[in-house]
Amino acid sequence: MEAWWVDEPGPIASHPLKGGQKPDPKPGPGELLIAVRTCGVCRTDLHLAEGDLQPHAQQVIPGHEVVGEVIESGEGTTKFRPGDRVGAAWLGWTCGSCRFCTSDRENLCLQPRFTGWDFDGGYAELTVVHQDYAYRVPDVFTNEQAAPLLCAGIIGYRALRSSALPAGGRLGIYGFGGSAHLAAQIAIFEGASVFVMTRSENAQKLAKELGASYAGDAETTPPELLDAAILFAPSGDLVPPALQALDRGGTLAIAGIHLSSIPSLNYSKDLFHERSIRSVTANTRKDGEEFLAIASRIPLQPTTTVYQLSSANDALLDLAEGRIVGAGVLKVSGQ
């Protein structure tokens, strides 16, 4: 099969992904072999390629926003059949027995495994996913639209819920890429006013088109105090201004897996009056099911920039330099 893998992490301008042929994978017990149709281009893939996240497997194939068709089932599979359209997401396996898994917090599992980090993902023509971690893709979405839902959407949804946004409240969003533009649509659908801070003029334009009450530069102060905020941009420098923009009792949720260093905080200026910071770590399968249900009910309108599989390095470079509006998607095969 044709695939891209992380050979030696390095600056994305050096094209650290290597492409070529790899052996076709085989599904084990409880696993599904998927013919990949599309795969989202996530900032986590960029962190992996550049070495901000060290690969957990040699020559690992990135990609964890996978949409494809089941073409073969391993022994003991019962949930899906060949021909079914399924999605594979970031969370690929949990132990099921640690104190977090047994208390409905499998996102904090002590021995988790992640798609495109611990085992091969969707920057390839074929991939394998365990049936218990696969999602049935709602019919309302095309393959292209569905890809960013599998991570950007799910993590954005968890971040939105973690921000403790009250009904009808004011939500600030810092950074407006694949995840943010989906979370914003849910917040607006549920009656919130959304204030977007991003350096990209194209992203500001998209935010307004989607119904944001305000869109300005990343470091500007929103025109109203916020009840909650989500930081999607991987910049720790934005933490102090995001906290200062919160009203009393507000929460800042940090959605990324990687963040640059956070400057020193001033207790009185940044945290007093019960303002709080909360990180977001992976997701549970319940998050995924809840998100896909509400996404199809709205329905969400993902904005995508499509690349051929052969342009995987170019897609990551465009992501790094802020040239992607919405979410990047690799078209791998089929329609």
Query: Do 193 and 116 share a structural domain?
Result: no
pTM over 0.85: yes
Euclidean distance between CA atoms 327 and 329, whole angstroms: 6
CA distances for 70 relative to 24, 88, 137, angstroms? 14, 11, 12
**pLDDT value at residue 321:** 94
Number of domains observed in the structure of the chain? 2
Is the predicted pLDDT of residue 66 greater than 70, yes or no? yes
CA distances for 298 relative to 4, 78, 99, 105, 293, angstroms? 34, 30, 35, 27, 9
CATH code, domain carrying 31: 3.90.180.10
- The position carrying tokens 């990687």 is 258
- pLDDT band with cut points at 50, 70 and 90 for residue 216: very high
**pLDDT value at residue 122:** 98
Euclidean distance between CA atoms 101 and 103, whole angstroms: 5
Beta-bridged to residue 216, according to DSSP, are: 197
Q: Are 95 and 109 in contact (CB under 8 A)?
A: yes
Euclidean distance between CA atoms 136 and 198, whole angstroms: 33
Which of 279, 296, 317 delimits the end of a domain?
A: 279
Query: Do 309 and 255 share a structural domain?
Result: no
- Which residue in 167, 137, 170 sits closest to 154, CA to CA? 137
- pLDDT band with cut points at 50, 70 and 90 for residue 333: confident
Query: Do 55 and 76 share a structural domain?
Result: yes
Residue 328 exposed, middle or buried by CB count within 10 Å (0-12, 13-18, 19+): buried
Query: Do 268 and 168 share a structural domain?
Result: yes
User: Mean pLDDT of all residues in the chain?
Assistant: 96
The DSSP element (H or E) to which 87 belongs, if any, is strand 85-88
**pLDDT value at residue 219:** 83
The least confident of 37-41, 170-174, 199-203, 245-249 is 199-203
Segment 293-316, tens digit of pLDDT: 999 999 999 999 999 999 999 999
* Structural domain for 53, as ranges: 2-150+282-331
Per-residue pLDDT, averaged over 191-205, amounts to 96
Per-residue pLDDT, averaged over 215-236, amounts to 95
Euclidean distance between CA atoms 184 and 201, whole angstroms: 17
Query: Do 190 and 204 share a structural domain?
Result: yes
Pairing of strands 85-88, 170-174: unpaired
Segment 20-41, tens digit of pLDDT: 999 999 999 999 999 999 999 9
Q: How many residues does the chain have?
A: 335
Query: Do 177 and 119 share a structural domain?
Result: no
Query: Do 232 and 85 share a structural domain?
Result: no
**pLDDT value at residue 335:** 56
Is the predicted pLDDT of residue 218 greater than 70, yes or no? yes
- Work out the angle at residue 144's Cα, subtended by the Cα atoms of residues 309 and 200, and round it to the nearest 5 degrees: 85
Q: How far is CA 73 from the centre of its chain?
A: 27
- pLDDT band with cut points at 50, 70 and 90 for residue 243: very high
CATH code, domain carrying 262: 3.40.50.720
Residue 54 exposed, middle or buried by CB count within 10 Å (0-12, 13-18, 19+): exposed
Query: Do 275 and 326 share a structural domain?
Result: no
Query: Do 193 and 140 share a structural domain?
Result: no
Query: Do 232 and 136 share a structural domain?
Result: no
Query: Do 163 and 97 share a structural domain?
Result: no
Query: Do 210 and 198 share a structural domain?
Result: yes
Is the predicted pLDDT of residue 45 greater than 60, yes or no? yes
**Backbone CA torsion sign across 284, 304, 145, 175:** positive
Name the amino acid, one letter, at 309.
L
